[in-house]
Structure 1
Amino acid sequence: MGLDHTSLTTLAALGDDLRRRMFEFIRQERRPVTREEVADSVGISRKLAAFHLDKMVAVGLLQAHYESPTGIRKVGRRPKVYEPVADAISVSIPERRYGMLADVLTEAVLTETEAESARDAALRVAYRHGETLGGAERTRTRPGRLGAERGLSLAADTLEEFGYEPERAAPALLRLRNCPFHPLAAKAPELVCAVNQAFLAGYLHGLGSDKTTAVLAPRPDACCVELRADSASEGPSAPGTACAR
């Protein structure tokens, strides 16, 4: 399906590296932010930040209003703050990975055996795809003996490229702030979350990070899986456990 004129205009606004970094900062903050905060995040003047922010408002990427930022009390006029417009464009930011999910499900259908269900086949294929990715990363980086924290660091670098938006919430915990398969995960959460977990479990095994576990931990507006060092795991879910959203 082609993009309409509005979508093209919106994407063009993000073609500039500075604007894209500004947009990503605002979206990742998950709260309204001021011009000053955006300017500081990318190292530019408040005036230049205001120019780019208002351009992104004009094309429908951001919305603006006046309020006091969270935790800040100011006397006088409330500052102008910005936040993303929900579902502003059909081309998602960050990039979705529907193709990867489609590959897993297609291969599962083609290789399903009589001894397994279609769901079991999907989990098997997802685990193998993740294992292949982790193995390739291990060969490329040659990390040697992997402790839990080193495994989480390598995982964060790779999963950033896949749109998971990893966040090191603690030394032994890597949270994934974005689901690359959303909104499909919202339509079939048990299947998609199980496939996600199997893929990430396979990745960790292929990477050689056996002291790290992919655990189902559903949170609103985030990936249903997080990666934990064994010391941080309490009864980790097995791949394929149902995900309640």
Structure 2
Amino acid sequence: MADPVAAVAALDEPNRRKLYDFVVRQTAPISKDEAAQAVALPRTTAAFHLDKLVEMGLLAVVHERRSGRTGPGAGRPAKLYLRSGEQIEVSLPDRRYEAASHLLTDALLEAETTGKPAREILNRRAYEWGEDLAGQADGDVVRALENLGFEPQQENTAILLGNCPFHSLAQKHTQLVCGMNLCLVSGILDGIEARSHTASLDPSPERCCVRLDQAPSSKSPSVSR
């Protein structure tokens, strides 16, 4: 998958946008000749833009023999284009509402099945997700937080989080979402076995409610959960 911003920017080119809109409206994969004819472009130009859309993750390619013939003499399969199965989202500042919806839905369903408190399940699942995400950060706390869109900022020995990926949810359901955030960050720290900082709640209207403070050097730090 290409960079989401670059993928969306690729559609700013008018001919490329026309080709994309044509392909995704069809009920079956489309050849470059069909696409070129539909938007009145030379075949080579259409092919260039179609392949660029594939490169950006916006379209996918399949190879099929439309004649239905098989075996020797059937000819080469045609290269056909269709909408990619990728989902592309761009948000500035970075927001992760789909991730939050999955966490909340899974917690609710598990609560209905087990009878356990939904908030307790949500916090556990957020923590476990953080542990899973930690594997992508190569032991780097700041990188792990950047990958989730928290926009970590160094302030003396502390790390402040300049952005909440669940901002609008946190505005309406502060205690619920801030608790989830704390467990998520705690899971990241434990997942990469970070010993430099501990996480705690420190709400502020200008940043995420979680902050990371340098762990006391006199003892092995434990992450607040």
Q: State the TM-score, normalized to the length of structure 2.
A: 0.53
Q: Which residue of 2 aligns with 1:206?
A: 191
The answer to whether the Cα contact below 8 Å between 1:131 and 1:202 also exists between their aligned partners in 2 is: yes
Return the alpha-carbon distance in structure 1 between the equivalents of residues 115 and 197 of structure 2.
30
Q: Which residue of 2 aligns with 1:180?
A: 165
Return the alpha-carbon distance in structure 1 between the equivalents of residues 99 and 192 of structure 2.
19
Seq. identity, %? 37
Query: After the TM superposition, which parts of structure 1 deviate over 4 Å for at least 4 consecutive aligned residues?
Result: none
Post-superposition offset of 1:168: 0.9
Return the alpha-carbon distance in structure 1 between the equivalents of residues 188 and 120 of structure 2.
18
Post-superposition offset of 1:108: 1.2
The answer to whether the Cα contact below 8 Å between 2:196 and 2:215 also exists between their aligned partners in 1 is: yes
Q: Which residue of 2 aligns with 1:93?
A: 92
Q: Which residue of 2 aligns with 1:36?
A: none
Return the alpha-carbon distance in structure 2 between the equivalents of residues 166 and 238 of structure 1.
18
Q: Which residue of 2 aligns with 1:155?
A: 141
Return the alpha-carbon distance in structure 2 between the equivalents of residues 127 and 158 of structure 1.
14
The answer to whether the Cα contact below 8 Å between 2:141 and 2:194 also exists between their aligned partners in 1 is: no
Q: State the TM-score, normalized to the length of structure 1.
A: 0.49
For the pair shown, the structure with the greater C-alpha radius of gyration is 2
Counterparts in 2 of 1:71-110, with a 5 A limit? Answer: 92-110=91-109
Q: Is 1:125 aligned to residue 132 of structure 2?
A: no
Return the alpha-carbon distance in structure 1 between the equivalents of residues 216 and 184 of structure 2.
22
Return the alpha-carbon distance in structure 2 between the equivalents of residues 98 and 185 of structure 1.
11
The answer to whether the Cα contact below 8 Å between 2:103 and 2:122 also exists between their aligned partners in 1 is: yes
Which deviates further from its counterpart, 96-105 or 192-201? 96-105
| Ranges in structure 2 where 5+ consecutive residues have no aligned partner | 1-7, 13-89
Q: Number of paired residues?
A: 134
Q: Deviations over 1:57-77 (max 9, x none)?
A: xxxxxxxxxxxxxxxxxxxxx
Q: Deviations over 1:152-183 (max 9, x none)?
A: xx22122122211110112x311001111011
Post-superposition offset of 1:200: 0.5
Residue identity matched to 2:189: L
Matched residue SS, 1:130: helix
- Say what the alpha-carbon RMSD is for the aligned residues: 2.5
Q: 2:206 aligns with which of 221, 228, 231?
A: 221
Q: Deviations over 1:100-123 (max 9, x none)?
A: 111211221222364631110100
Q: Which residue of 2 aligns with 1:44?
A: none
Residue identity matched to 2:117: S
Return the alpha-carbon distance in structure 1 between the equivalents of residues 223 and 92 of structure 2.
29
Post-superposition offset of 1:237: 8.8
Q: Deviations over 1:95-146 (max 9, x none)?
A: 2110111121122122236463111010010010001111x136xx3x5xxx
Return the alpha-carbon distance in structure 2 between the equivalents of residues 237 and 213 of structure 1.
5
| Ranges in structure 1 where 5+ consecutive residues have no aligned partner | 1-10, 16-90, 144-153, 240-245
Return the alpha-carbon distance in structure 2 between the equivalents of residues 224 and 237 of structure 1.
15
Matched residue SS, 1:183: helix
Return the alpha-carbon distance in structure 2 between the equivalents of residues 210 and 169 of structure 1.
18
